[in-house]
Each structure stands twice: as structure tokens, then as C-alpha cells.
Amino acid sequence: MMTRDRTHPNVPQVDQSDRLVPRNLRQSGPTPVQMLISTRVRKSPFWHLSIEAGCWRATVYNRMYHPRGFVRPEDGGAMAEYDALVNRVTLWDVAVERQIRVRGADAEAFVNRVVTRDVIRIAPMRGRYVIVCNAQGGIVNDPVLLRLAEDEFWFSASDSDLMLWLQGVNVGLGYDVAIDELDVAPLQIQGPLSEDFMTDLFGQAIHDLPYYGLIDTEIAGCSVLVSQTGFSGEKGYEIFVRDASLNAEAVWYAVRGHGARYGLRVIAPAHHRRIAAGILSWGQDMDAETSPFQLNLAYQVPREKAADYIGRAALERARAEIEAGRYPFKLKMVGLAMGGAPITDYAPDFWLISAPGKGRVGYVTSPWWSPELGHNIALGFVPYELTAPGTRLKVELPEAYTETSGQPVEAEVVDVPFRPSAHPSERERARAKARDDVR
């Protein structure tokens, strides 16, 4: 039987023995196929409006079609969209963030049981970024949790079946709650001009809205919920359109019409900017076999939370191991400053990381070019002993991005975020405080 002399695409050299499914998966390169549009995958109420605005490619997220490109490569591609985001104001169709409502007499107790953070501390009409873990401490979902009332929460879900998870969990727990998906679809308004733009749309209340704050309002006669949140690191807001199957067009055209004076541009969700801000993407940077302690998300695992929650025992065991000087995972996420030609589009593979004398040791999850820094940046996983800032590594980029044909590019472990955010996360604020304390 004839065999092919080539490297196996699963790359077993990277140690992922603490996982059942390896995260670097198959290194198979670009997949130039046409996506089938069928009834099996749902279209958002904004889908046809995104197509009208120039969407030319899409992916699937939460089993919905998700726009991922408006400016064509010959006109500047994703980096032209980046320019609009960091200099003006942009509109994103993010209806794929399905809104899962938990409502009822036991809503607070149930939500407190399924998220690691202390929900009691979230006041009505406020939100928080949270994680939902399984019994092994793996991250099932990392939604933004919105609390509309004492007895009502919305999970703005990332890319996994959160509603089914919550409903399944409650079969055993039996809390007095209703768990369902709403006919609510969000739009994001992101960029340095977003506050002025949103104030024109909704009035002076926008100026007083704190980060993760919520207000009920309306636009074009349609009821919406507005939050100061987003996926970019820039100043930004989300508009949650109620009864979206009926109201999507009215809200979309009102926003776009008003945005003309601000140079508003419809773009895809800004993965180039969220990487620079150190914002993570479920399915890309984490999954149900990834612990928050591998992702610098220890702040999501409070020591003092009184109520028990799913995954607590596993997470506390992991923390105890780390504090005893025994890192319990094979790999940990780091930031990387990389060489190579500018990476200006999505990576089709988890590109491989090597270390001197060790061979292939890890993989990149989220790479992009940073115009401000003048080099490529990335999030990736490497063994714990290689996570110190300043550690020198190499990354095996595709031929189009290499400086010398067939040779990996130089990389260095650096602090995350790569550049300051308009709305720094708790992790960013803690790191900034630590640096100030040292000074």
C-alpha cells in the first residue's frame, strides 16, 4: 500500500494530553468553497439588510449566518473597516448574539448557580461580562449578562448552545424560572464618535450611561434596550431591538440614516480590534475544555462568593494547585508580538508555535496586524514555562506572511492588552494598578 510522505495535519507534537479534543485540530489551510444558504441555518432579521449594505462573505455563529466582510479586498478589506472603527463610528449586525431570558421567582438564585461571578452584586439595569462553566471547570459560554429586573436576566450568548445548557441544567435543579430565547436582535455601534452619535439618537441619557449600564428607550417608534457594551475595546453601545422580526428594518434604516452625518459605516465585528484589546472569542480562544485559569480570567472566579455554582470544586482545586506552584494545565494563553508580513484577514488554522530546542509547543488562536504597533499580534497557547514576557518563540505562518520562504517568523511573549482600550476590562485595570503600585 502506497503511503504519502507528509506531515500529519493534526500535529500531535503539541502536548494537549489534558484534553479529549486537540485545539490545533487539522492544519489544512484555506478552504475556498461556497457556503450553502439553506433553511437549516437561521437568518437574522438584519441578514437581508446586511446583504443590501454590501456583505460579501459570512460565517455561521450560534447556528445563524453572520456577516464577516463588507469592504472587498480590492478596496482595502478588513483593514479599511478597522480604519472606520478606530477613527469614526461603525454599525454591526450582531443578531447572532442570541438573547436567552431567565425570568421567574428563582431567577437570581438560578443565574447565581450557573455563572461563576456573584450575581447578587449586579443591580437591575446593569450588566456584566460573565462565564458559565461545566462541572470540570471548562467554559461553556462567556456571555454578557444583562439584569433588567430583580427577576429577569438576559444572557447575550456567545457561540455555543447556551439555552439548551441552561434548560438542561434546570431539569435537575428545578428552579422556578422560565428559560427561553427572545425575539430580540442586537446591533452594535462602535467607535470614537459613538457617544455623540448615540446621544443624537436617544438624548442626553446616553452621556450619563455607565459602562455596562442599560436604558429602555425607543427609536422609529420601536422599543429597544441600549447598553454601553461592545466587542471592540473602543467606545461603544449595543441596541437590542425588541420584536426584531417586525422592527428590524425600521431600526436599521433609522440608525443608518442618522449616521450619515457621522460617516457611519456598516462593518463586520472587529476581531482585529478585539485582539488588540485582549477580548476573547469563544470557540476561537476558548471552549468547554478550557479553564479560566488558562486565559488570565481568574478574576471571574471569586473566592468570596457565598453561593455554590457549577464548576466551583474543579476551579478551586485548580487555583490551589497554581498557588502551590504546580500549574495543572498543559498550556496557557499569552500575547505574542510577531514578525512577518501584515496579517490582514482571518486565519484559517491555529498556526503553530515552536520554541528553541523544544520543537512545536503550542498554537496561535487569534492573529492580526496592528497598524499602531507596526507588527503582527496574536493570542496563543504555550506551555506554562514559556509564558514570561520577553520569552522568544517562533510562529509557523503561511507562505504569504513569511519573511523568508519556509521559515517561521520571530515572536515574543508580551503583556495583554496590546494597546489601551476605551473601556478597560477589570483585568486591564488590575494590571494598570499593579504597574502604578510598582512605580
- pLDDT the model gives residue 1: 37
Q: Of 9, 52, 11, 16, whose CA–CA distance to 31 is shortest?
A: 9
Q: Which single residue is written with the C-alpha cell 502551590?
A: 324
Establish whether domains 184-263 and 280-438 are of one fold: yes
Q: Is the pLDDT of residue 4 over 60?
A: no
| pLDDT given for residue 251 in this prediction | 98
Which listed CATH number (3.60.20.10, 3.30.1360.120, 3.30.70.100, 3.40.50.150) goes with 280-438? 3.30.1360.120
Say which CATH architecture domain 184-263 belongs to. Answer: 2-Layer Sandwich (3.30)
What's the rounded mean pLDDT across residues 130-150? 98
Q: How confident is the model at residue 32 (pLDDT cuts 50, 70, 90)?
A: confident
Residues 417 and 425: their CA atoms lie apart, in Å, by 10
Report whether 399 belongs to an annotated binding site. no
- Within 13 Å, how many C-alpha atoms sit on residue 319's CB side? 16
Measured distance CA(377)–CA(416) in Å, rounded: 10
Is the peptide bond between 417 and the residue preceding it cis, with omega within 30 degrees of 0? yes
The answer on pLDDT for 215 being more than 90 is yes
Can you give the pLDDT at residue 11?
Answer: 80
Q: How confident is the model at residue 2 (pLDDT cuts 50, 70, 90)?
A: very low
Mean pLDDT of 424-436: 61
DSSP symbol at 12 = T
pLDDT at 5 over 50: no
pLDDT over 80 (residue 7)? no
Which pLDDT value is given to residue 220? 97
Pick the closest to residue 163 from 114, 109, 125 (CA basis): 114
Question: Residue holding cell 476605551?
Answer: 422
pLDDT tens per residue, range 374-383 = 999 999 999 9
pLDDT digits (tens, 9 = 90+) for 260-310: 999 999 999 999 999 999 999 999 999 999 999 999 999 999 999 999 999
Q: What's the length of the chain?
A: 439
What is the torsional sign of CA 157, 161, 166, 169?
negative
Q: Which residue has the higher pLDDT, 25 or 288?
A: 288
The pLDDT > 90 percentage for the chain reads 88
Asked which of 9-13, 93-97, 324-328 is least confident by mean pLDDT, the reply is 9-13
pTM listed for this prediction: 0.94
Tell me the domain boundaries of the chain.
184-263, 280-438
What is the reported pLDDT for 427? Answer: 60
CB 173 within 8 Å of CB 164: no
